[in-house]
């Protein structure tokens, strides 16, 4: 019985909604007919009930467009601007088109913008890091017998950015990302007959600042950006492992492993990098999913202390002078904070401030 009642109420709600929209569609058609017949003055009154309650968002857009045209024709520019502003509230991404819209509406649209002042986004993803050796520093004295390879390890990042939109296409972004980065160094010492592997795991707070250019229309909107970043190294630790290829006797192997050893004190805390990236935004409703590929090129040496006593004596480890580059891929979500508004008249405020504007 309860299920039947629920189904009944659901059916009634949907029917009412559909019927309401159908009625308002008729109202909108009626208003359009009146407009085409040149009977402009009654149109606002015809549309008002449905604008107040009944239009779908799409119908609101058509209704406000019709009202804008109407007010322009009856020479009521203030109401026309208000109506166009209401249109933009309903569809912040509405762009007047001279081929589709009346030319006076098109010109009116030029007075407005819906570009968000700030666009926050949240993103997360995976990354990998590339060691760029500046000076190779190792405890081996037989360099010809030593082969060093730096390997890739996966990390992850999580954070957000805020874009300050200069205009539809250009913006300045400031981010705050926590990133866990990792990389490894494999040393084959043929003189000693050992293989040593050092996996370094680092926790970072990356603060990128960049300028971004993006396409502002379409379902898929590519973007590129470039800038700089401050990179704060919060913590670093090393997992060392050594395989002695001839111990305890020739032909047998002995593996030595040690728990993670903290070497934060051997790394610089404040670091810097260049940031390059690009990707695209995928529009879903009024919001976007982002797919972002970013490369951060480390600018400075990370090593403050070459030798850590425990690692130096335990695993013959010394740290190179190196920069760290990072390649990341993030998926994010953007909810644009649209703000339909009239554009400021360039120079007026400055003239006002200087008292030079003619009254």
Partner 1 sequence: MKIKHSLIVIFIAALMFGCETSSTLKSPAKDYFVKYYGGDGNQFATDLIVGDDGTFYILGNSRRSPGEVQRVFLVHADAQGNVIKQITYGNVEMEARDFQWSKDKTMLVVVANKNNSTDTDILLSRFDPSLNIIDSLLLQAELAPTKNVYANALTVLSDGGYLVAGYTDYVTDPTHQFDALHLRVKIKNGSLYQMVSGLPDAWKETSGSGTFNSAARVFELVTLTPADTLYYVMGTTNATNNQTGTDTNFWTFGINGSNSDNTEFESPSTNETLTNAVKISLGGYLMTGVSVGTNLNMSAVVKTLKNDKLSFGQNNVPDVNYTYQSTSLGKPASTRAQFATACDANSSSGFFLLSNTYNTASGASDMFLMKLDLLLQEAWLSPVNIGGDGEDTAAAVAELPDGHIMVLGTMNIGDKPEQFKIALLKLNGMGKLAE
- Return residues touching partner 1 (CB under 8 A): 134-135, 137, 139-143, 166-167, 170, 172, 191-193, 209-211, 226-228, 240, 242, 246-247, 249-250, 256-258, 272, 274, 299-301, 306-307, 309-310, 312-316, 318, 321, 323
Q: Which is nearer to partner 1, 124 or 314 (CB)?
A: 314
Q: Please say whether the dihedral angle defined by the alpha carbons of residues 260, 262, 268 and 271, taken in this order, is positive or negative.
A: positive
Q: Is the dihedral of CA 200, 203, 209, 213 positive or negative?
A: positive
Cis peptide before 248 (omega within 30 of 0): yes
Q: Which is nearer to partner 1, 81 or 241 (CB)?
A: 241
| Residue closer to partner 1, measured from CB, 235 or 347 | 347
Residue 109 CB, shortest distance to partner 1, in Å, is: 22
Q: How far is the CB of 129 from partner 1 (least distance, A)?
A: 17
Smaller CB separation from partner 1, 65 or 302: 302
The smaller minimum CB distance to partner 1, of residues 26 and 191, is found at 191
Supply φ then ψ for residue 30, to 5 degrees.
-65, -45
34 or 206, CB closer to partner 1? Answer: 206
Reported residue count of the chain is: 359
d(CA 299, CA 229): 10
C-alpha to C-alpha distance for 316 and 138, rounded to whole angstroms: 8
135 Cβ contact partners less than 8 Å away, ≥ 6 residues apart: 320, 321
State how far the Cα of 115 lies from the Cα of 242, in Å rounded to an integer.
57
Half-sphere exposure of 16 (CA within 13 A, CB side): 7
CA gap 297, 231 in Å, rounded: 11
By C-beta, is 100 or 344 nearer to partner 1? 344
DSSP 224-236: EEEEEEEEEEEEE
Of 83, 316, 63, the C-alpha closest to 189 is 316
CA atoms 171, 340, 29, 24: torsion sign: positive
Cα–Cα distance for residue pair 50/21, rounded to 1 Å = 9
CB of 141 to partner 1, least distance (A): 4
Rounded to a whole number of angstroms, the CA Rg of the chain reads 32
Measured from the CB atom, is 87 or 302 closer to partner 1? 302
Nearer to partner 1, 112 or 213 (CB): 213
- Which residue, 130, 234, 222, is CA-closest to 176? 234
Shortest Cβ 323–partner 1 spacing (Å):
7
């Amino acid at each position: 019985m309860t299920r039947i009642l629920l189904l009944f109420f659901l059916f009634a709600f949907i029917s009412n909604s559909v019927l309401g929209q159908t009625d308002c569609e008729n109202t909108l058609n009626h208003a359009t007919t009146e407009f085409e017949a040149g009977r402009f003055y009654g149109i606002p009154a015809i549309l008002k009930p449905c604008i107040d309650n009944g239009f779908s968002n799409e119908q609101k857009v058509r209704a406000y467009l019709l009202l804008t045209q109407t007010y322009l024709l009856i020479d009521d520019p203030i109401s026309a601007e208000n109506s166009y502003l209401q249109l933009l509230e309903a569809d912040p991404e509405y762009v007047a088109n001279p081929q589709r819209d009346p030319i006076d509406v098109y010109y009116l649209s030029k007075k407005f913008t819906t570009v968000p002042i700030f666009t926050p986004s949240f993103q997360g993803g995976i990354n990998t890091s590339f060691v760029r050796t500046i000076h190779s520093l190792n405890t081996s004295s037989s360099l010809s017998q030593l082969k060093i390879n730096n390997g890739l390890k996966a990390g992850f990042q999580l954070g957000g950015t805020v874009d300050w939109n200069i205009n539809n296409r250009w913006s300045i972004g400031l981010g705050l990302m926590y990133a866990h980065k990792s990389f490894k160094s494999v040393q084959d010492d043929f003189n000693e007959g050992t293989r040593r592997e050092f996996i370094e795991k680092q926790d970072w707070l990356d603060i990128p600042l960049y300028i971004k250019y993006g396409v502002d229309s379409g379902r898929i909107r590519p973007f590129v950006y470039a800038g700089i970043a401050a990179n704060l190294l919060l913590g670093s630790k090393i997992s060392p492992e050594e395989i002695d290829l001839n111990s305890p006797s020739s032909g047998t192997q002995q593996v030595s492993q040690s728990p993670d050893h903290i070497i934060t004190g051997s790394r610089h805390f404040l670091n810097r990098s260049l940031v390059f990236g690009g990707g695209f935004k995928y529009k879903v409703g009024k919001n976007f999913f982002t797919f972002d590929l970013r490369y951060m090129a480390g600018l400075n040496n990370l090593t403050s202390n070459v030798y850590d006593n425990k690692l130096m004596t335990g695993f013959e480890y010394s740290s190179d002078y190196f920069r760290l580059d990072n390649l990341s891929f993030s998926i994010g979500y953007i909810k644009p904070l649209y703000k339909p508004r009239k554009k400021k008249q360039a120079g007026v405020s400055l003239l006002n401030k200087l008292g030079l504007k003619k009254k």
